[in-house]
Structure 1
Amino acid sequence: MLTVVRALTAAVLAFSAPAADPVREQQAWVLDALNVEQAWTVTKGEGVTVAVVDSAVDTGVKELKGRVTSGPDMTSGSVQRDLPPGRHGTAMAALIAGSGKGDGFIGVAPSARILSLPMVIDDEPGVAMPPLEDQQSRPNAQSPLARALRYAADRGAQVVSMSIGSYGPLRSEREAVSYALSKGVVLVAAVGNDGQTAYAKEKGTSYWSFPAGYPGVIGVAATDKQGKRATFSSDNLSVLVSAPGVGVPVVKRGSGYELSEGTSSAAALVAGVAALLKARYPALAPEQVAQALAASARGRPAAGYDDETGFGVVDAAVALNAAERLVGAKRSVTPGMQHFGKGADSPVPTRPGPDPVRLWLYGGGVLVALVMFCGAIVVLNQRKEQA
């Protein structure tokens, strides 16, 4: 089975922000859509490390300087090489943790740190492929993503952001996802940009993209400025929540800013919100983070959920409140047997073991049988003597 991993950018449109229209103003609608500024009154992501599994992050960008740890090249388990800074990975890292230094770009969790785990090369936007992996000839081989997830989990990352995808699940990745989740790591991934493909139009649903499709991974769809699903955003049951993904300002590799479109940006934004939750409530389990994000989302579909925007657009401030309730919730079921609903309790089950009544009956029967047996022997002996 050959697997191609690709960056999930639909398009990147350059723009220059004039002095009277700084990038922070360009970002305002995105931050408002996620209700981030209210969440910042509680936390800005202090003490949390977010692993960015993508192209290498440019550590020289002013908004990321001094706050990025660069991990090894994940495309090979043996041969290591230095990958050049990538356009895509840099943009995603700044969406998560841009510091806003010098009135510059600010991320959703501006006090968080980034662990850059490169596994794709993006010399051109949207074209990002590591070496192909033949899982049939190497069934026990780990994919680059599997290596990255285990590396992140073993080095203390609390959140992993994955704006990447492939069309086929791999055993090594499923196992790595389970491993990371068992370590308490929150996994966030873009669901893909296949909403306008011929297959999606014909079938009414999009191909599943992985890692978003793995159980336990928070799949993120893209919405526009009106909070509606972006036409390119994939629609399938891997979608849990959504976030802005159309005309989203991002940091350029080197310096400057540009606009992006794609579920990549949406996933990075949600990873930033997850970092806020983990900073405030470090013991929050991955499934609780997912529950808090889903339960607090805005613009919920009429049916409560659909496969286009999931449970709605993430609300950072309300998600923090939801997380607080989850942390403080007590178990409603105490040790012992309980019934559900109204009505009398069922009879208490009898303890396992011998039944005294039956024992007496059994013992009495055995005694009567012995008496009759002995009596029969006496009678036979008497007849024998008489004869």
Structure 2
Amino acid sequence: MRALTAALLVLSGPSAAPVRDQQQWVLDALNVEQAWTVTKGEGVTVAVVDSGVDGQIKELKGRVSAGPDMTSGAVSRQMPPGRHGTAMAGLIAASGEDDGLIGVAPKAHILSLPMLTDDDPEVSVPPAQDEEQVTESPLARALRYAANHGAKVVSMSIGSYGPLRSEREAVSYALGKGVVLVAAVGNDGLTEYARQNSTSYWSFPAGYPGVIGVAATDKQGKRAAFSSDNLSVLVAAPGVGVPVVKRKSGYELSEGTSSAAALVAGVAALIKAKYPDLPPEQVAQALASSARGRPAAGYDDQTGYGVVDAAAALNAAERLTGEQRSVVAGKEHFGQGEDSPVPTRPGPDPLRLWLYGGGVLVALVMFCGAIILLNQRKE
């Protein structure tokens, strides 16, 4: 079974400035505060597939449910909270309690689905062949659990090389349940392979169809040098010097596509809170079509369609919801014209039968009359 690893690269302590001041540039980059005038993520559960989440820190207290250890088939076993999972959960849903860190969707709920620990090593080997012999990976188990336990968004700041059949099937299952899937594209932008080939190895789950792959940008909105560049990238978000919560208490700075993916998962939670019936593909469309800093060509494999704009994405989602309603509006959509005639019942047409029968009768009379005339002439 392949290893799944966290995409977080660097964590270092921030300066003595208040954390809300430290994170203001992130909120501005995503245009989050304008989006909060519409929704703050009420009623939405975001599953965090990562290391465990510490639900006792002040910003998350009372809003974290702990799922079972996804690496084990035993649903009763639980893993201890981890540094990385706690940091990502805070970016999604921290409440800002006592002027602490505030997440993109500060009223959302977190479902912690641990499947790795902070001690798991980084993967630094070329991708292997598809391991079809794996019946169900921890990630596949986590996706199905999330879809079956009320999650509307799944945040996956994890990555590994090579797809698995069980994961492809679990991704399809979750998407079919209406769950939005968001994942980090990876931190391989500076690898030797990337330098030689001008592209990065694909990381999964970001590489699966239907998953929103997120790249990292800096304070200037430019792609972070470490961020992987390939066609799994759909959109981008801040991933350099992003303040995060620490386990138990305190804050630190994060660097990686992990943070970018968690932030976008928070924006997806805002969309699902306002438009709960919007399907995953239209949530992705809303994020992509409204992104800022769009590349000159419209799209590239470094930042995708650009940096996510939370307020603009909500507006785009509203338009898509209107389009969706018009499609199913029936007669009101197509006008009040006359109805088509009711189809005739199958079988013989009575009128045609009478015409046919009358024609046959006339023909018989004429035939018999001709025979009589011929017989009279012979006599």
TM-score by length of 1: 0.83
Match of 1:131 in 2: none
Residue 240 of structure 1 aligns to a residue whose secondary structure is: strand
1:14 maps to 2:12: yes
Shift in alpha-carbon separation, 1:25–1:188, aligned structure 2, 3 A: same
1:230-379 superposed matches below 5 A: 230-329=224-323, 330-331=325-326
Match of 2:198 among 184, 201, 204: 204
* Separation (CA, whole Å) in 2 of partners of 1:58 and 1:107: 15
Shift in alpha-carbon separation, 1:334–1:88, aligned structure 2, 3 A: closer
1:43-122 superposed matches below 5 A: 43-78=39-74, 81-122=77-118
**Contact conserved, 2:87 with 2:245, CA < 8 A, in 1?**
yes
Match of 1:189 in 2: 183
* Separation (CA, whole Å) in 2 of partners of 1:48 and 1:137: 35
Match of 1:220 among 204, 214, 228: 214
By how many angstroms is 1:127 displaced? 7.9
Consecutive unaligned residues in structure 1, runs of 5 or more:
129-133, 337-350, 379-387
**Contact conserved, 1:86 with 1:123, CA < 8 A, in 2?**
no
- AA aligned to 2:10 is V
**Contact conserved, 2:5 with 2:121, CA < 8 A, in 1?**
no
Match of 1:382 in 2: none
Match of 2:3 in 1: 4
* Separation (CA, whole Å) in 2 of partners of 1:14 and 1:124: 19
By how many angstroms is 1:13 displaced? 3.0
- AA aligned to 2:40 is K
Shift in alpha-carbon separation, 1:331–1:77, aligned structure 2, 3 A: same
**Contact conserved, 1:294 with 1:312, CA < 8 A, in 2?**
yes
**Contact conserved, 1:7 with 1:127, CA < 8 A, in 2?**
no
Match of 1:384 in 2: none
- AA aligned to 2:188 is D
1:131-150 superposed matches below 5 A: 135=131, 137-138=133-134, 141-150=135-144
Match of 2:223 in 1: 229
Residue 214 of structure 2 aligns to a residue whose secondary structure is: strand
Q: Percent identity?
A: 75
* Separation (CA, whole Å) in 2 of partners of 1:252 and 1:334: 50
By how many angstroms is 1:89 displaced? 0.3
* Separation (CA, whole Å) in 1 of partners of 2:250 and 2:328: 55
By how many angstroms is 1:123 displaced? 3.1
Residue 82 of structure 1 aligns to a residue whose secondary structure is: coil
**Contact conserved, 1:7 with 1:164, CA < 8 A, in 2?**
yes
**Contact conserved, 1:297 with 1:312, CA < 8 A, in 2?**
yes
Q: Cα deviation per residue 1:6-32 (whole Å; 9 max; x = unaligned)?
A: 1111x22321442xx200000000000
**Contact conserved, 2:238 with 2:259, CA < 8 A, in 1?**
yes
- AA aligned to 1:158 is K
**Contact conserved, 1:16 with 1:256, CA < 8 A, in 2?**
no
Shift in alpha-carbon separation, 1:171–1:31, aligned structure 2, 3 A: same
Match of 1:383 in 2: none
Consecutive unaligned residues in structure 2, runs of 5 or more:
125-129, 332-342, 372-379
